[in-house]
A and B are shown apart, each in its own frame.
Chain A
Amino acid sequence: MSEKRTFWTCLLVLIVALPAAFVVRAWESLRESQWLAAGRAEIVVADGAPQAFAGGQWKLLDMRRLPRTDDARVILAEFEASPTEPAILSQGACRVRLVDGKGRRFEPVTLTEPIVRKMYPEVAERPRCGVLAFADAKDGAVVRMAESFIVPADARDLLLRIEFPGASDETLVFKWTRS
């Protein structure tokens, strides 16, 4: 092989090898990046409809909008789950979030809002979604839960998203179409 030919062959190999080396080195990071990661499968359910999810039968009971300040409201979400496979439910950690029409994600508040305790004391007593709520649950027994969120007064088209990593790879999304 002539010297010239070797030079060009090496140059071409370099052009292929360098990007390949970059991809191999960065593969883990690329796989974890948002734009390449396949989103978690979503099960979208209309309000009031029961849905099998993470070893239970889930249902959104009510989503109430309560006053807080001029620009903020409390959203009180009530939902229930009837464990069909308690062993699966007790494996995971429940994560509940509220998403509005603008895509803003709200975490539930840790302390019960005073307005919830005043207007719906029985709902305020309900457990939050978590392993503890299902600790004593038996097959088919209904576990009623409640979470409250603080949202801007203009938050509309609310979705309640429930994730149960460990028990399910999917995300349960309840659409709330009532006012």
Chain B
Amino acid sequence: MSALRTLLICVLAIATLYAMRNSTPGYGDITAPIAIRGAVGERVETRDFAFGAANVHLARQVKVESFGRVKDYSTSGVWLIIEGAAVAKTETMTLTSADWLAGNGLRYELSQRFSTVPGYLPTERLEPGLPRPVLLAFELPEAAVDKGTLLVARSLVMPLAEELSIALGDKKPADIKPSVTIARSASGTPWTLAAR
């Protein structure tokens, strides 16, 4: 009887240790960014910066007008364009990480094809207390738009930093425009955006 009890305790201990070993989070999980949730149309704050997504557009094609030339950006999926504003709170910084987290868990990085568009988020230097209008563009499969979330962080490689998680909610655009044109603007926001 005593031997059986000892055996049972051993089995239980091994099972517990196995479960603990398998459920131990990895270093990446422990130091993952801390999510701060928000919605489109509201200012979402972290300790170091604030960000607000104002307008969301979906388009099959993007045209960029710059110095009299028009460049076409086509895609086999859709373009998700977000207009917003960002401000640093504590020190001069650049928000270098913006991802689109699709409903199925896939992450899409900010498109690198628009790095010359004025106001593009990773190229905008933010000074504390001076809000800047910013533009974000993602190239996505159509299915990735639904139930997606915008993730914005100062950097992807900063452990335990804060990351904004902005759900589109009911602000999601219902229709996909055939084309959206982004042009430089001399006053106000550094760009103008027209859907056609």
Tell me if A106 and B127 are in contact (CB < 8 A): yes
Closest residue on chain B to residue A155 by CB atoms: B129
Tell me if B130 and A107 are in contact (CB < 8 A): no
Min C-beta distance of B95 to chain A, whole Å:
15
Min C-beta distance of B188 to chain A, whole Å:
11
Q: Which residues of A contact B130 (CB under 8 A)?
A: 71-72, 150-152
Min C-beta distance of A171 to chain B, whole Å:
15
Q: Which positions 90-119 of chain B face chain A at CB distance < 8 Å?
A: 90-92
Query: Please, how many angstroms separate the alpha-carbon atoms of A152 and B89 in the complex?
Result: 11
Q: Which residues of A contact B129 (CB under 8 A)?
A: 102, 104, 151-152, 154-155
Tell me if B90 and A103 are in contact (CB < 8 A): yes
B41 interfacial contact with A, CB 8 Å: no
Closest residue on chain B to residue A98 by CB atoms: B92
Query: Please, how many angstroms separate the alpha-carbon atoms of A105 and B129 in the complex?
Result: 10
Min C-beta distance of A69 to chain B, whole Å:
9
Closest residue on chain A to residue B128 by CB atoms: A104
Query: Please, how many angstroms separate the alpha-carbon atoms of A66 and B92 in the complex?
Result: 19
- Chain A interface extent, by class: 10 to 19
Query: Please, how many angstroms separate the alpha-carbon atoms of A107 and B93 in the complex?
Result: 9
Encode B125-147 as 1/0 by CB contact (under 8 A) with A. Answer: 00111100000000000000000
Min C-beta distance of A123 to chain B, whole Å:
21
Tell me if A107 and B90 are in contact (CB < 8 A): no
Closest residue on chain B to residue A108 by CB atoms: B92
Min C-beta distance of B131 to chain A, whole Å:
9
Encode A79-113 as 1/0 by CB contact (under 8 A) with B. Answer: 00000000000000000000000111111000000
- Looking at the complex, which one of A71, A72, A107 makes contact with B92 (CB distance below 8 Å)? A107
Min C-beta distance of A56 to chain B, whole Å:
26
Query: Please, how many angstroms separate the alpha-carbon atoms of A48 and B1 in the complex?
Result: 89
Query: Please, how many angstroms separate the alpha-carbon atoms of A76 and B119 in the complex?
Result: 25
Query: Please, how many angstroms separate the alpha-carbon atoms of A72 and B128 in the complex?
Result: 11
Q: Which positions 128-153 of chain A face chain B at CB distance < 8 Å?
A: 150-152
Min C-beta distance of A47 to chain B, whole Å:
23
Closest residue on chain A to residue B91 by CB atoms: A105
Q: Which residues of A contact B90 (CB under 8 A)?
A: 103-105
Closest residue on chain B to residue A151 by CB atoms: B127
| 4 interchain residue pairs of minimum CB distance | A152-B129, A104-B128, A107-B92, A105-B91
